Every structure is written in structure tokens, then in C-alpha cells.
């Protein structure tokens, strides 16, 4: 199994690589730029080359880039919508420069315009951004739609939303990134064998489990169906150690890379959570 964390590239890509190696990650996620801005500086090719060489040397893959939080591809407000499209295009360009495997995006907030209208906006925005960035069609997805908790007017808390976005996107292949905290908060029971089986049956029926390329492993502060997007340390939230053993007990999920986005103040927090998640994967009864 592959496990990694979201690493910071503050101070340069070499810092992100150093932290990944120190933590013995087999996969990583990071922001290509400022996560709280729609404007970012381009990645320098020489820095990107050294970074890619380092990842290859230490067998760290896939490399996952997370788009900025301010991106809202569903916005009915034209200025924000256009800024989000341009920002997504830059993120795609950054992924190409870094030879990243995946770009994870939160689908967006419809802000009252409705889910159907928001889904149409998201699909068009992705296609527009891909065109601007010169992204050519491929059967292998670069962009992954993350499952979200469903707070406010978020789109993407139900598998039907990802299905409809993917169906409306003709020129770009899309995949899915599951987030354990978000799914649980959105109302998917993934902590019992029966609940997880039903969840994966629905996922497979609507999307196909094979479209899931990355799983964000996060415990949840909120209870089942709370719609609260607050991550907890592994084993200290409402999913708990028992819930993660259930998740790791499904053989279909064990082949998907797991990336932690758990709370941290220092690298030791990542080290601790990685140790716990690896232990739970070993303790799981695989079916």
C-alpha cells in the first residue's frame, strides 16, 4: 500500500522533497502555489527538474497537486468564475511542468443558483481551463473531483454530482478523489462493514471504483451526516481506529494511494499519524 502526506513547499520544492523523504512517504500531495490565492508565480523549470529527479530517486509517486481553496468553478458571479478558470489553467500548467500525476479540485459552490446550474458551470470551466492550458485529451485523468462534506452550497458531496460533472465534460477525462472525513460528514457510513459495502456499491454503480485514484485519509471531528469539514488525527475522531480498519479491510481500496491531511504543527504530527494509519492497515482483516 502507498501512504503519504500533504507536504509544504514553503521555501522551495527541495523542502517538500526533504520532508517527504524524512517521513518515508511513498506518495505526496502539495500545493503548487499559494493555497489561499487565485494568483501564483510560475514554477521554475530548473527547480522542477531537480524535484522530479528527487521523487524518482526515492520512488515517490504519484505526485498529487491540490488546487487553491479559493477556486470556485460553480460560481454564478462572472468575475470569480473567470478568475477561477484562469487559476485552474495555471494549476494545470504547473502540473505539466512538475510532471504531476493528479490535480485535485473541490468542485465548487453554487451560491444559490442550484446544483444543476453549478454542475454545468463546473464542467464548462474545466473544459475552458484545459483549453487555455493546452491540455490534450487522454484516457488517463489528470483532474480529480474531490468528494466534499456538503457544507453550505457545496457541490460534490454526493456521488451523483461527480457523475453528472464527468458526463458533461466531453474533452477532458476526469477521475475522483475520495476524502474519508468529507464522505463521513456528508452522510456516507464508511465505518461499518455493511455501511462501507453499501457506499462502495453506490460508488461503483454511479462512477466505477476504478475512477478513484487517490484517497485523502482524515478522521472526522463531526459525526455522521454533520456536514462539518473538520479533520481530526487518525483514531481521534468519529471514524476512529475501528472505522479505518473497516476501510482498509476492503481489498478494492488497498490498491489506491492514501494521503493524510491531518492537523499538524510540526513534522512530528505527520510522523505520528502515518505510523497509526500504517498500523491500522496491517491490523485490518482484508476481504
| 110 catalytically annotated | no
C-alpha to C-alpha distances, 30 to 64, 124, 136, 139, 258, nearest whole angstrom:
7, 26, 23, 24, 14
Q: Cis (ω within 30 of 0) for the bond into 62?
A: yes
Burial of 120 (0-12, 13-18, 19+ CB in 10 A): middle
| 137 catalytically annotated | no
| 6 catalytically annotated | no
| 14 catalytically annotated | no
Q: Which one is catalytic: 9, 90, 163, 231?
A: 231
Between CA 48 and CA 85 the distance in angstroms is: 24
Residues in the chain: 287
Q: Which one is catalytic: 161, 216, 250, 270?
A: 216
Three-state SS for 84-141 is HHHHHHHHHHHHHHHCCCEEEECCEECCCCCHHHHHHHHHHHHHHHHHHHCCCCCCCC
CA dihedral over 23, 255, 52, 130, signed as positive or negative = negative
Say what angle helices 115-133 and 159-168 make with each other, to 10 degrees.
50
Q: Which one is catalytic: 101, 154, 164, 179?
A: 179
Q: Which one is catalytic: 14, 39, 45, 69?
A: 69
Q: Which one is catalytic: 6, 9, 66, 90?
A: 66
CA dihedral over 51, 53, 54, 58, signed as positive or negative = positive
Q: Which one is catalytic: 9, 163, 182, 219?
A: 182
Q: Which one is catalytic: 101, 164, 229, 238?
A: 229
Q: Which one is catalytic: 6, 9, 90, 106?
A: 106
| 106 catalytically annotated | yes
| 254 catalytically annotated | no
Q: Which one is catalytic: 47, 202, 261, 269?
A: 261
Query: Which among 170, 82, 158 has a CA at the least distance from the CA of 116?
Result: 158
| 261 catalytically annotated | yes
DSSP 192-228: SHHHHHHHHHHHHHHT-GGGEEEEEE-EESSPTT---
| 179 catalytically annotated | yes
| 161 catalytically annotated | no
Q: Which one is catalytic: 146, 154, 164, 238?
A: 146
Q: Which three cell numbers stand for residue 204?
A: 461503483
Residues with catalytic roles: 36, 66, 69, 106, 146, 179, 182, 216, 229, 231, 261
Amino acid at each position: 500500500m502507498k501512504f503519504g502526506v500533504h507536504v509544504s513547499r514553503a521555501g522551495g520544492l527541495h523542502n517538500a522533497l526533504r520532508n517527504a523523504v524524512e517521513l518515508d512517504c511513498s506518495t505526496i500531495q502539495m500545493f503548487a502555489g499559494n493555497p489561499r490565492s487565485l494568483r501564483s508565480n510560475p514554477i521554475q523549470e530548473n527547480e522542477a527538474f531537480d524535484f522530479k529527479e528527487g521523487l524518482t530517486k526515492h520512488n515517490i509517486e504519484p505526485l498529487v497537486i491540490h488546487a487553491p481553496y479559493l477556486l470556485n468553478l460553480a460560481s454564478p458571479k462572472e468575475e470569480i468564475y473567470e478568475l477561477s478558470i484562469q487559476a485552474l489553467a495555471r494549476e494545470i500548467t504547473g502540473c505539466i511542468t512538475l510532471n504531476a500525476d493528479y490535480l485535485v479540485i473541490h468542485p465548487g459552490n453554487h451560491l444559490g443558483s442550484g446544483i444543476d446550474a453549478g454542475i454545468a458551470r463546473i464542467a464548462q470551466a474545466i473544459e475552458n481551463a484545459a483549453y487555455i492550458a493546452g491540455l490534450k485529451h487522454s484516457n488517463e485523468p489528470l483532474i480529480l473531483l474531490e468528494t466534499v462534506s456538503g457544507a453550505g452550497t457545496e457541490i460534490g458531496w454526493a456521488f451523483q454530482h461527480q457523475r453528472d460533472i464527468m458526463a458533461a465534460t466531453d474533452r477532458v477525462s476526469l477521475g475522483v478523489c475520495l476524502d474519508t472525513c468529507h464522505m463521513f460528514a456528508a452522510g456516507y457510513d464508511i465505518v461499518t462493514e455493511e455501511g462501507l459495502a453499501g457506499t462502495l456499491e453506490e460508488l461503483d454503480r454511479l462512477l466505477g471504483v476504478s475512477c478513484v485514484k487517490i484517497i485523502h485519509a482524515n478522521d472526522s471531528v463531526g459525526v455522521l451526516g454533520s456536514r462539518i469539514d473538520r479533520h481530526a488525527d487518525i483514531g481521534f475522531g468519529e471514524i476512529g481506529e475501528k472505522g479505518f480498519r473497516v476501510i482498509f479491510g476492503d481489498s478494492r481500496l488497498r490498491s489506491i494511494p492514501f494521503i493524510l491531511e491531518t492537523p499538524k504543527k510540526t513534522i512530528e504530527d505527520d510522523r505520528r499519524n502515518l505510523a497509526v494509519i500504517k498500523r491500522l492497515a496491517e491490523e485490518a482483516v482484508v476481504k
